[in-house]
A and B are shown apart, each in its own frame.
Chain A
Amino acid sequence: MTLPSLVAAVLGLATATAAAQPAINIGDTTAPPRHAVWLAVPSIDGSAGAELGGERGIAPRTGVVVALSARQTAAGDYDALRLGVAGEYRWYWRGRARWSQIDGLDRVGWFVGGRIDVATSRLSMGERHVGSTLVAGARGELGYRLTPWRGLAITGLVGLGGAIERDAAGRLPMQRNAVLGLGLDVGWMF
């Protein structure tokens, strides 16, 4: 499967999942949405990959997140595809947001989260395998989610943490990197 087709499949799955859900009832007594799916906007910048995330509410103002990512990380005379998975625990501080249009939804507004991600990639040059890497990171995140229209959810966040890079063949010493990341997720709550 090529990267563009993989991205298309991921986006298609996200769209179909969101479309299959009943519409959000605004202003009535229907239970607020428990799930959210989204696309990480920075991950599609450059048309080289995508990260799809999903959140499930597990308690008042609390959600757990799982995200899957695929991104081409080398081109030119080389080729590499990095595949990643991440988990995050989020706690929404006040449970309300200025532009939230969903009654009773408490996973909006300011939140803090702890995230762990793991990714691996395989670098090749033509038919020659150059090497493989494993990247693992952990970060704290501060974000704000708003739902300005129906189930539309927009989340901006900043994360601070660290990551380690390990060369599978052991040619390079393990490297620790500090991480300062900016994120923007756009998705749907249902």
Chain B
Amino acid sequence: MTFRPGRPWLLVLTLWTQVGTGCGDVEKIVAVSYDDRHTATELDVYLPAGPPPPGGWPAVLAIHGGGWSKFDRSSMARASERLAGAGYATVNIDYRLVPAGQYPAAVQDCLCALAYTRAHAAEWGVDPARIATFGYSAGGHLASMLGVAAGAATHQPDCAAGVTGPPAAVVSGAGPQDLWLYPEVDEVVEFVGGGKVAAPELWDAASPITHVAAGAPPFLFVHGEDDWFAGVEHSEHMRDALAAVGTPADLLTIPGGGHLINRDAAAGRYDLVVVSTDTAEAWLAIVDFLDRTIGARGVR
């Protein structure tokens, strides 16, 4: 099974699922460059309504999916608005895509965006100590990489925002966690920068599960049980690895849930949604997790 999310019908579905959505009263700051050396490295900021609480808003760094080679931050716009509506300042980022974003460049870009967010926290009313990452698919992989591998020298960016530490919490939706679980499909080989035989060290280094160690931030995984693109075992293995070193890690699986096509639990139909994290129950779990970790409820 290969990633082929660039087909025109998927674009139509993406647009369709975003028709008529939105959460008003959210202030947006759009198209901010967080690394002027590249054109892809832009972000949008979604701020909750009203003045920030003492200490600043808890925040979420949103990272889009697309097999490390497709899509952009528009696919996370709706989730970003909803998070902001729930009291989380949300920084929705683009990053360099393959080939320019080949590992470790995409990881470095995401860390640069996190460093930039912390550097501009006072300007946006954000608490720099309470920033989580939230990604879907390839974005879920990158969100996890920031959580467990921010300290690796090869991952730290050399951008103007400087180096930074890991996020305070991680939400990974349908994210690849162990790239060795994949066959040598083009998307993974092109992201990693070589095949399993030619570059096994890169397959290790680019897999979040390789970097699991004590002291990682808490994780929440959301994953469809019938995901053909990134099997649910990615999240199961990562959850177990984190738990083994004492890191809080929760997993919500969606019975019958896929990567792009899900069951409409309210209507007995196949529902052609774009992301399996976008269920009512997944959203409850995500906000509950954020409340418990970076603590929006305690400061609103």
Q: Which residues of A contact B (CB under 8 A)?
A: 40, 42-43, 45-49, 51, 53, 67, 69, 71-78, 80, 82, 84, 86, 115, 117-119, 121, 123, 125, 130-131, 133, 135, 137, 139, 159, 162-163, 165, 167, 171-173, 175-183, 185
Contact status A42-B255, CB under 8 Å: no
Q: Which residues of A contact B263 (CB under 8 A)?
A: 42-43, 45-46, 48-49, 71
Query: Smallest distance from the beta carbon of B141 to chain A beta carbons, Å?
Result: 19
Complex Cα–Cα for A80 and B279 (A)? 12
With A46-B256, A175-B283, A178-B17 in contact, is A67–B288 under 8 Å at CB? no
- Among B221, B226, B251, B268, contact of A46 (Cβ-Cβ < 8 Å): B226
Question: Are B269 and A78 interface neighbours, CB within 8 A?
Answer: no
Contacting pair A86 B267 (CB below 8 A):
yes
- Among A49, A159, A173, max chain B CB count under 10 A is at A173
26 contacts between A and B (CB under 8 A): A43-B269, A45-B256, A45-B270, A46-B226, A47-B255, A71-B255, A72-B255, A73-B255, A73-B280, A74-B254, A75-B252, A77-B252, A82-B281, A119-B266, A130-B288, A133-B280, A159-B267, A162-B20, A171-B291, A173-B23, A175-B283, A177-B273, A178-B16, A181-B267, A181-B272, A183-B268
Shortest beta-carbon distance from B261 to chain A in Å: 9
Distance in angstroms from B228 CB to nearest chain A CB is: 13
Which residue of the partner chain B has the closest CB to A131? B284
Q: Mark B2-37, 1 if CB is under 8 A from A, else 0.
A: 000000000001001111111100000000000000
Docked complex Cα distance between A177 and B278 (Å): 10
**Which residues of the other chain, A, contact B272 by a CB distance below 8 angstroms?**
180-182
Give 6 nearest A-B pairs by CB, closest first: A46-B256, A40-B268, A51-B268, A181-B269, A48-B255, A173-B85
Q: Is the interface of A mostly helix, strand, loop or mixed?
A: strand
Chain B residues near A51 (CB-CB < 8 A): 267-268
Chain B: residues with Cβ within 8 Å of the partner, total of 47
Q: Contact between B266 and A171 (Cβ–Cβ < 8 Å)?
A: no
Contact A182 B270 (CB under 8 A): yes
B17 near A172 with CB under 8 A, answer no
